[in-house]
Amino acid sequence: MLLSSVLLQAAAAAVGLGKLGAFIGAGLAVIGAGIGIGRIGGSAMDAIGRQPEASGDIRNNMIIAAALVEGVALFAIVVCLLVYFL
């Protein structure tokens, strides 16, 4: 508990509190993207297991859904980049 608060204070002193917020935001966005795309991949695996003949169709739809979820996560990345560079 004490170590994490000391690290946070050191990081805030080094870069400034605003930029620290940008770093934390980018990390949270990546967690969201990872969970979302992981679930899509998992259901795709289940579906291919049930019906291997449809694996081509399932693969196409999985890629499309993954691109859409990644687009949403990249909204957050763009906001964090704006905070960091402006």
Residues that bind another protein (CB under 8 A): 60, 63-64, 67-68, 70-72, 74-75, 77-78, 85
Q: DSSP letters of 68-86?
A: HHHHHHHHHHHHHHHHHH-
Residues 6+ apart with CB under 8 A from 69: 33, 36, 37, 40
Nearer to another protein, 6 or 68 (CB): 68
Query: Shortest approach of another protein to residue 77 CB, angstroms?
Result: 6
Query: Shortest approach of another protein to residue 6 CB, angstroms?
Result: 26
Nearer to another protein, 47 or 81 (CB): 81
